[in-house]
Homo-oligomer: A and B are copies of this chain.
């Protein structure tokens, strides 16, 4: 178990990996499962071993705004932040590809900060990269119109899945950008005319 952990979380020291093995638990979730909902209390810090998770911000009317992916080797910054203060979750996290997670109980998250340099650096680096990602999201909505936001969205998804074929319905995209399906269909058609994408059923092919 220690070796697999060190393989995915390459920066962890052996001592830290041991601590994780002894104290943390492994949980599995299936595609479509909701790991945490807005308003729930967070009891653990979450590290991703395998699979993919999408993190959303929700509004009162059921809107789901996509913020970022969590992938193997990454941790949920919000779970770290909230964990320390035993706060409610400000986000919703949905499994999009079966995942295995390491759940680190609250008090350890804190304790290890003082004891394990590699944990401390991992946590700080998680904060930094998530903060930067969130700032980029702000850019995309604050400074750009829907057509550019859509391109940004598609590129991020292509980066994460590592392929050019996005298995997304127009409705799904519309929800995650908080607009309507018709708007997405319209903009995708224009992108197709510009030769940026090819449209198939449940499948958007990025050409550039």
A residues apposed to B, CB below 8 Å: 57, 59, 61, 63, 65, 67, 77-78, 81-82, 84-85, 87, 90-91, 113-114, 120, 124-125, 127-128, 130-132, 134-135, 137-139, 141-143, 178
What are the residues of chain B within 8 A of A135 when measuring CB–CB? 57, 90-91, 134
What are the residues of chain B within 8 A of A137 when measuring CB–CB? 138
Q: How far is the CB of A14 from chain B (nearest CB, A)?
A: 20
| B143 in contact with A178 (CB, 8 Å) | yes
Q: How far is the CB of A112 from chain B (nearest CB, A)?
A: 12
| B59 in contact with A132 (CB, 8 Å) | no
| Most chain B CB atoms below 10 A, which of A120, A132, A142 | A142
Q: Which residue of B lies closest to A78 (CB)?
A: B131
A78 to B143 CA separation, bound complex (whole angstroms): 20
What are the residues of chain B within 8 A of A81 when measuring CB–CB? 124, 127-128, 131
| B65 in contact with A138 (CB, 8 Å) | yes
What are the residues of chain B within 8 A of A84 when measuring CB–CB? 124, 128
Q: How far is the CB of A93 from chain B (nearest CB, A)?
A: 14
Q: How far is the CB of A90 from chain B (nearest CB, A)?
A: 5
| A125 in contact with B90 (CB, 8 Å) | no
Q: How far is the CB of A54 from chain B (nearest CB, A)?
A: 15
